[in-house]
Amino acid sequence: MASIEFRNVSKMFGSQRVLAPTHLGIPNGEFFTVVGPSGSGKSTLLRLIAGLEVPSTGEILFDGERVDNKPAYSRNVGMVFQNYAIYPHMTISQNMSFGLEAQKIPKAQINQKVKEVAKILEIDGLLAKRPGQLSGGQKQRVALGRALVRNPRVFLMDEPLSNLDTQLRERMRKEIRLLHETFQITTVYVTHDQTEAMTMADRICVVNGGEIQQIGTPEDIYQHPANIFVAKFFGSPAMNVIAGRLVPYKETLAFEPEHDPERLSPLPADLAARGREHVLDGPVFLGFRPEAVGQETSGTAWEIPFVPVTIESLGSHYQIHGQWCDQPISLSTSIRPVRERHKVLNLLIPWTDVHWFYEDGSRINFAAPVRVRQEA
């Protein structure tokens, strides 16, 4: 078990940058998920920890001890691959004891450990079989067991569940989380699935284009996304983001949407005051989550017109997709909507549930000191 630290770590493949200089600290025993779209550099980050890639700059430390100059075979990491990567020519028990044999542990002790872990993972009946005889879910368990049995310093998982069907994936999600609670091994878990990242992580690291966008707890990331990318990446349907600008309006300020400039939305007094400090009259993005619509609020609300186009029932709730002029808007509600398409509705979004973003996509944090804007 170990803590992991990245100091200014970057990775180039030829002239292509796959990971920008990165600082990162993962405390001992944490379940840390790395999430991002394909090609975002999340797997590279994991492979750097494993030693399967060498960083172009910077240092990687386990428990304060430098490991980036150590080869992968001496780092004692347990890795689980997307395609399981089980040794096809060995039995399951040989697969699981392979790593322990390299550590020169007595045979009897190896057998005992393998049996122990196999029992926890409910694969003790498969030990004599060969990988070809196993189902996908069983192979996944073997891959987990093979990494676990060595009691590695860190546990690395590269999209381990993406080859499984939905039901099995949900079950394995819980089991991996439980295993983590039992063994308390620092785990870095790479996935492109935001649900997986949200449900499993102690902390999430969002990566895009080789750069870390935000690191935080699942709640933090959902409630205070650092930028539009993070805001839209989490939540389904994605956050509605509307481009526009703040313009003077009577005594106060109003939001003028780009796609419907006629419709000015005046800001409540306190927001206007802070808005003036932060953005003045520059372009701005307003975002709201599909489920924010129609929430009870003691304060004032943002009122927008909405034409529903499709209504999807998910049993427990409904997803409604429609438009405000030609701006697509998605809603999520547990109240059965009136099944009347193409009729203009008025939506009320509490101003407290509205996320504000600068022109460059980064979050406007009204609580924080005013950001100095660079004038052109």
Interatomic CA distance for residues 212 and 27, integer angstroms: 18
Contact between 11 and other proteins per CB under 8 A: no
Which one, 83 or 365, has the nearer CB to other proteins? 83
Contact between 51 and other proteins per CB under 8 A: yes
Which one, 18 or 301, has the nearer CB to other proteins? 18
Of the candidates 150, 169, 289, 363, which one interacts with other proteins according to CB under 8 A?
150
Q: Segment contacting other proteins (CB under 8 A): 11-19, 66-74, 265-273, 357-365? A: 66-74
Q: Segment contacting other proteins (CB under 8 A): 82-90, 248-256, 279-287, 314-322? A: 82-90
Q: Segment contacting other proteins (CB under 8 A): 86-94, 182-190, 271-279, 297-305? A: 86-94
Contact between 55 and other proteins per CB under 8 A: no
Burial class (CB in 10 A: 0-12, 13-18, 19+), 4: buried
Cα within 13 Å of Cα(22), Cβ side: 35
Contact between 89 and other proteins per CB under 8 A: yes
Contact between 88 and other proteins per CB under 8 A: yes
Q: Segment contacting other proteins (CB under 8 A): 83-91, 253-261, 266-274, 311-319? A: 83-91
**Please, what is the minimum distance in Å from the beta carbon of residue 165 to other proteins?**
21
Question: Are 121 and 93 a contacting pair, CB within 8 Å?
Answer: no
Interatomic CA distance for residues 300 and 180, integer angstroms: 44
Distances from the Cα of 285 to the Cα of 257, 291, 328, angstroms: 9, 18, 15
Which one, 98 or 351, has the nearer CB to other proteins? 98
Structure tokens at 107: 């045979």
Residue type for position 373: R
| Alpha helix positions (H), 224-309 | 228-233, 269-278
Of the candidates 1, 50, 168, 241, which one interacts with other proteins according to CB under 8 A?
50
Contact between 318 and other proteins per CB under 8 A: no
Structure tokens at 1: 């078990």
Q: Segment contacting other proteins (CB under 8 A): 96-104, 161-169, 176-184, 234-242? A: 96-104
**Please, what is the minimum distance in Å from the beta carbon of residue 178 to other proteins?**
23
Question: Are 371 and 299 a contacting pair, CB within 8 Å?
Answer: no
Interatomic CA distance for residues 257 and 255, integer angstroms: 6
Question: Are 25 and 205 a contacting pair, CB within 8 Å?
Answer: no
Which one, 146 or 173, has the nearer CB to other proteins? 146
Contact between 69 and other proteins per CB under 8 A: no
Residue count (the chain): 376
Contact between 73 and other proteins per CB under 8 A: yes
Q: Which of 320, 237, 333 is nearest to 291 (CA)?
A: 333
Contact between 74 and other proteins per CB under 8 A: yes
Interatomic CA distance for residues 345 and 152, integer angstroms: 57
Task: Catalog residues that contact other proteins under the rule CB under 8 A.
Answer: 50-52, 71-79, 81-83, 85-89, 98-99, 102-103, 143, 146-147, 150, 156
